[in-house]
């Protein structure tokens, strides 16, 4: 059963790490919304939820009525909860594979194109004419930066316009070298997938039996 837990928990994580490796391996930075980034993280941890809290939330009564389909309902519930949390998060843009100095210049250029009064105050960029104010957080692992809205959203349309303009500017940015984090995440993802494949090939009968037992609970 322990081997089954390992495969279920690590397979989504391996795919997530490979996706991060691809983002860090691109020649130009890539910007995604904070909501999509959060949902992707939730999907990466779905295996952990499946073997942990998911089992605790599944009752004998529900299993008796729905059978194995109760797990599909639980997965749908997990996805809806993730969407609910994501919809209430503070507006945020996550930029992958971006050099901090180059990103700051791109942000300045994008902001001035949309608002002549845009100005920096430390790590915060204010665009009063657009109704957008955020701070730049580049303390993540690898070349990852987050643009987090400060305070309440004064103009959702302004934030959307800025997000679209920033993606265009990043797509036209000069090609940069691949980050070391690309190799790191690729090693994690491929290594984990190789372990999962080895476990499945050598002990597939045991894994199938464990899956049938787990789904029947």
DSSP state letters, 198-215: HHHHHSHHHHHHHHHHHH
Residue 116 sits in the same domain as residue 158: yes
Residue 11 sits in the same domain as residue 41: yes
Nearest to 189 by CA among 21, 47, 6, 52: 21
Q: What percent of the chain has pLDDT over 70?
A: 82
What are the start-end ranges of the E strands in 128-181? 132-137, 144-149
Q: Which residues are CB-neighbours of 166 under 8 A, at least 6 positions away?
A: 31, 93, 106, 107, 110
- Cα distance between residue 172 and residue 29, in whole Å: 9
pLDDT digits (tens, 9 = 90+) for 172-184: 776 665 567 788 8
Q: Is the pTM of this model over 0.85?
A: no
pLDDT digits (tens, 9 = 90+) for 74-95: 778 788 888 888 888 888 999 9
Residue 52 sits in the same domain as residue 18: yes
pLDDT of residue 16 exceeding 90, the answer is yes
Residue 78 sits in the same domain as residue 96: no
Give me the CATH number covering residue 133.
3.30.310.80
Report the domain count for the chain. Answer: 2
- Cα distance between residue 58 and residue 60, in whole Å: 7
């Amino acid at each position: 059963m322990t081997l089954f837990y390992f495969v279920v928990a690590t397979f989504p994580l391996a795919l997530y790490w490979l996706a991060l490796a691809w983002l860090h391996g691109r020649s130009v930075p890539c910007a995604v919304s904070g909501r999509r980034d959060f949902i992707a993280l939730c999907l990466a941890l779905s295996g952990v939820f499946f073997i942990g809290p998911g089992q605790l939330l599944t009752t004998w009564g529900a299993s008796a009525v729905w059978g194995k389909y109760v797990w599909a309902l639980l997965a749908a519930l997990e996805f809806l909860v993730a969407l609910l949390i994501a919809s209430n998060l503070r507006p945020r843009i996550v930029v992958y594979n971006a050099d901090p100095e180059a990103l700051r210049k791109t942000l300045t250029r994008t902001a001035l194109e949309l608002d002549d009064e845009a100005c920096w105050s430390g790590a915060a960029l204010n665009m009063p004419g657009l109704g957008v104010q955020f701070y730049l957080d580049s303390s993540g692992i690898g070349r990852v930066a987050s643009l987090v809205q400060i305070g309440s959203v004064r103009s959702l349309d302004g934030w959307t316009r800025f997000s679209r303009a920033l993606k265009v500017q990043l797509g036209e940015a000069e090609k940069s070298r691949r980050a070391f984090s690309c190799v790191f995440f690729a090693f994690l993802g491929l290594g984990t997938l190789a372990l999962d494949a080895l476990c499945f090939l050598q002990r597939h009968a045991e894994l199938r039996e464990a899956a049938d037992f787990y789904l029947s609970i």
